[in-house]
A and B are shown apart, each in its own frame.
Chain A
Amino acid sequence: MTSQGRSSPLLKARNIWVVYSDGTVANKGVSLTLYEGEIHGLVGENGAGKTSFVHVLYGVVRPSAGEIYIQGVKTRIASPQDARRHGIFMVPQHNVLIPTLTGLDNIRLSNGAEAVDRVYRLVDELGIDVDLDTPVERLERGMVKKIEVLRALATGAKIVILDEPTSVMSPVEVEDLSRLLKTLRGAGYSFIFISHRLDEVVEICDRVTVLRDGQVAYSGGVDEVEKLYRLMFRGEEYLEASSMRRISPMLRVFLGIEGNGQEELARKYLSGSRGFTGYVPGNPYSAMVPGMSLVDNVRFRVLDQDIDYEGLTLRIVRSYEVVARDIYTPIDRLSGGNMQRFIVGREVELSEDRCVLMYPTRGLDMRSMALVHRRVWDAVERGCEVIYFTEDMEEALMLGGMISVVYRGRVSEPVSADEADVDRLKMLMSGIGWS
């Protein structure tokens, strides 16, 4: 759209290789060109090497080979401070703001008073809708991301890297962020936008680079969505997943944005079951032990039982396609998606008569999501009741089962996925149509 025909690129990475200490090759000669005033999508499934690549641009990871050019000049970026000096700023996947402070105080704290002036000027000039005066912990995630983008610009950044900003956002929030990025693009800022949701990438980005297995599978315009899907996923599993919708009363799906009473609901289901109840909490990090191996991460959950822990771990790793060197690898060595699949797998496989999964596919790509859905159905078929929480309506419909909407502590009548009225679900999720 806007990038074509510009003379020299703002940033150019050439033939980047990333090899980690354990021998994992995360990037195998990745190249990417970013023009001024461009939103560049970077897509790929979990573990494709997206984060590794932008960590190189941000000076967090040292590449084993490759060069970076900034405005045509070969540059070595040794640290995030270096990157910031060259106008590059990264907004990581997880929140880095201090939760008890307001957006403004966060900016003042990390960047000083003049940064605050700069933010005010931007907000005024561009008419940006942002709440800088509420403690961050009380804001929605979409708003927090917007503040983080502004904070990046306040440091004088010209290029902002966003690592999976939308993985925990509702559709409305995604649209809002998209608006902000487009406005800023008009003001001359450039973005690298990481995601594994192709629909939003098509909607937001000017150009896109697809990573697969650490290599560039495609780089160019965003017109052919179908082609991108095929490039991104090795097989046809997305299509398969969407076509396998089944219905069972044993699968209860609760649809709603987090914080509408899901915790209480989950607690209710966690008590009063006879056998072992599997449970994936909303924050999967509270369900794992960093520094311990995969086997011990299974053992700790069911410590006092007579179980072949090694065998079980191996089975989880295989059937959830967890990429790990072996089952004695510390769990924190896995990439985020693999870690999460492992935790979900452990809980589903250990469950006897019930399993409570809170947002188990949050942050996972389509292929991983389809995989989790298949295993959930396997569990249902062996007679295990599954309580499944999601924030994503598309997912709820795809998964099947009996869907209820959760809103402000209320739960709607369950409807079967194939009879559900999409518009009515949307209304209920936004608080309309409750009697």
Chain B
Amino acid sequence: MELSPMQIYRGVATILAVSIAVAVYSGVIILYGGDPVEAYTKMFRNAFLDPYGLRETMRLASALGIISLGLSIVFRAGLWNIGAEGQYVLGGLAAGYVVYVLGLQQGGPLAPLLIGALTGGLYAAIPGVLRWRLGVNEVLTTLMLNYVALYLLYYVVYGVWRDPQTGFPVTPEIPGAYRLPEVGGFVGGLAIMLLIAPALYYLLFHTRYGFKLRVYGLNREAAEYAGYDRRAIIVGGLFISGLLAGLAGAGDFLGSYYRLMPRFSSGLGYTAIIVALLAYNHPLIVPIASILFAGFLYGSYTLAIVADIPTEATYLMTGLLLAMLVSTQYMERWIGWLARRL
């Protein structure tokens, strides 16, 4: 695959955007009396060189990456699924249903994992159907369904599935038979992410369905002009993204938390949106972006420890990154202009 000048400018612009965000954040660290070089070094060491840190980073990266992969597909179709958070939670809830209520023992984690994924997919298909049949904006519906999923989670965690032994709002730990195995010392999710990424790349760039999705995203009118089936694109695209968010939710339940609690997701579904954008909605870039972003999220606590920066200030970094990424399209032009001058 040959890189066009535009792609090169874009890459340079992304690196530049991240560098500027890092530079500004260094200023913040200095403001709090820290040493940015030391802070970033330790952050990197804790997130990638420490064996436990690396495992945790990879766990976060795989959840984030699997959600982002799904988002990269719908975003390519120009559909804004803001509901990955809810689909993730519902995936965990459905897996919990299989474990706590049905008690389906056969197949170990496989049944809850697949049912979790499927439920996430169907949950995302609801806004898809509303969009397809009634033209309801999916941004609103997906966002609202996040709250529905969240309140459902509260309902079971505070109510029917609460651990009767302790009375605390946490469900009981799942038996060992249900737990996802590790792969090469890492959570199984990492392997799943690395399998899904090329599959989605193939879907998007080498199948007719992927082509139609992209056409629909670039120009809806043109897709209708060419007579494409809107239902397959809208409902199907949202279903795929929900499927993967649900898979991540079920995976985290079966592979790392082993239980449900009120803060089952601390905003992963929203962070995944940033990761997908950071990766230009490209399935082969998403895993890289999610690993870097997970490292950053994980390491942000090091900043709080080493540089005494309030944890909340990491949101500043996320915000900065987002702002810089939004401005990359302008930067692309400067860089193109500069490249021609040199």
CB distance from B65 to the nearest CB of A (A): 25
- Distance of A419 Cα from B211 Cα, bound (Å): 49
- Distance of A407 Cα from B223 Cα, bound (Å): 31
Interface string of B203-232 (1 = CB under 8 A from A): 000001001101100110111011000000
Indicate whether A289 reaches chain B with its CB closer than 8 angstroms: yes
Interface string of A280-292 (1 = CB under 8 A from B): 0100011111111
- Residues on B with C-beta less than 8 A from A4 are none
**CB-based nearest B residue for A296:** B211
**CB-based nearest B residue for A287:** B225
Please state if A21 and B222 are interface contacts (CB–CB under 8 Å). no
Please state if A281 and B225 are interface contacts (CB–CB under 8 Å). yes
Please state if A289 and B218 are interface contacts (CB–CB under 8 Å). yes
Please state if B215 and A300 are interface contacts (CB–CB under 8 Å). yes
A286-B340 CB under 8 A given contacts A301-B226, A303-B208, A303-B226: no
Indicate whether B262 reaches chain A with its CB closer than 8 angstroms: no
- Residues on A with C-beta less than 8 A from B337 are 21, 62
- Distance of A21 Cα from B5 Cα, bound (Å): 9
CB distance from B76 to the nearest CB of A (A): 11
- Distance of A296 Cα from B208 Cα, bound (Å): 12
Please state if A21 and B225 are interface contacts (CB–CB under 8 Å). no
Indicate whether A224 reaches chain B with its CB closer than 8 angstroms: no
Please state if A300 and B208 are interface contacts (CB–CB under 8 Å). no
Please state if A21 and B215 are interface contacts (CB–CB under 8 Å). no
Interface string of A11-27 (1 = CB under 8 A from B): 00000000101100000
- Residues on A with C-beta less than 8 A from B218 are 289-292
Indicate whether B336 reaches chain A with its CB closer than 8 angstroms: yes
- Residues on B with C-beta less than 8 A from A281 are 225
Please state if B211 and A287 are interface contacts (CB–CB under 8 Å). no
Please state if A289 and B336 are interface contacts (CB–CB under 8 Å). no
A300-B222 CB under 8 A given contacts A62-B337, A292-B214, A292-B215: yes
- Residues on A with C-beta less than 8 A from B222 are 286-289, 300
CB-contact partner of A286 in B5, B211, B215, B225, under 8 A: B225
Interface size on A, residues (CB 8 A): 20
- Distance of A410 Cα from B212 Cα, bound (Å): 38
- Distance of A214 Cα from B225 Cα, bound (Å): 35
- Residues on B with C-beta less than 8 A from A413 are none
Please state if A303 and B225 are interface contacts (CB–CB under 8 Å). no
- Distance of A303 Cα from B211 Cα, bound (Å): 9
- Distance of A45 Cα from B221 Cα, bound (Å): 29
**CB-based nearest A residue for B219:** A289
- Distance of A62 Cα from B208 Cα, bound (Å): 41
CB distance from A301 to the nearest CB of B (A): 5
Indicate whether A86 reaches chain B with its CB closer than 8 angstroms: no
CB distance from B80 to the nearest CB of A (A): 18
CB-contact partner of B215 in A22, A279, A289, under 8 A: A289
- Residues on B with C-beta less than 8 A from A182 are none
Indicate whether A236 reaches chain B with its CB closer than 8 angstroms: no
- Distance of A288 Cα from B225 Cα, bound (Å): 9
**CB-based nearest A residue for B214:** A292
- Residues on B with C-beta less than 8 A from A303 are 208, 211-212, 226
**CB-based nearest A residue for B216:** A289
Please state if A286 and B336 are interface contacts (CB–CB under 8 Å). no
Indicate whether A299 reaches chain B with its CB closer than 8 angstroms: yes
**CB-based nearest A residue for B222:** A289
- Residues on A with C-beta less than 8 A from B223 are 300
- Distance of A232 Cα from B5 Cα, bound (Å): 34
**CB-based nearest A residue for B341:** A64
- Residues on A with C-beta less than 8 A from B225 are 279, 281, 286-287
- Residues on B with C-beta less than 8 A from A292 are 214-215, 218
Indicate whether A304 reaches chain B with its CB closer than 8 angstroms: yes
**CB-based nearest B residue for A19:** B340
CB distance from A94 to the nearest CB of B (A): 16
- Residues on A with C-beta less than 8 A from B208 are 303-304
- Residues on B with C-beta less than 8 A from A62 are 337
Please state if B221 and A286 are interface contacts (CB–CB under 8 Å). yes
- Distance of A72 Cα from B214 Cα, bound (Å): 52
CB distance from B222 to the nearest CB of A (A): 5
Interface string of A194-224 (1 = CB under 8 A from B): 0000000000000000000000000000000
CB distance from A151 to the nearest CB of B (A): 27
- Residues on B with C-beta less than 8 A from A291 are 218
CB distance from B207 to the nearest CB of A (A): 11
**CB-based nearest B residue for A300:** B215
Please state if A21 and B211 are interface contacts (CB–CB under 8 Å). no
CB distance from A305 to the nearest CB of B (A): 11
A286-B212 CB under 8 A given contacts A62-B337, A300-B226: no
Q: Which of B219, B336, B340 has the most CB of A within 10 A?
A: B219
CB distance from A61 to the nearest CB of B (A): 11
**CB-based nearest A residue for B333:** A21
Please state if A290 and B219 are interface contacts (CB–CB under 8 Å). yes
CB distance from B228 to the nearest CB of A (A): 8
Please state if A299 and B219 are interface contacts (CB–CB under 8 Å). no
- Residues on A with C-beta less than 8 A from B336 are 21
**CB-based nearest B residue for A286:** B221
Q: List 14 A-B contacts (CB under 8 A).
A: A21-B5, A22-B5, A62-B337, A286-B219, A286-B221, A286-B225, A287-B225, A288-B219, A288-B222, A289-B219, A292-B214, A292-B215, A292-B218, A299-B211
For the complex of A and B, 8 pairs with smallest distance between CB atoms = A286-B221, A21-B336, A289-B218, A291-B218, A300-B215, A289-B222, A289-B219, A289-B215
Interfacial residues, chain B to chain A (CB-CB below 8 A): 5, 208, 211-212, 214-215, 218-219, 221-223, 225-226, 336-337, 340
Known: A286-B221, A300-B222, A303-B212. 7 other contacts (CB 8 A): A21-B5, A279-B225, A287-B222, A288-B219, A291-B218, A301-B226, A303-B211
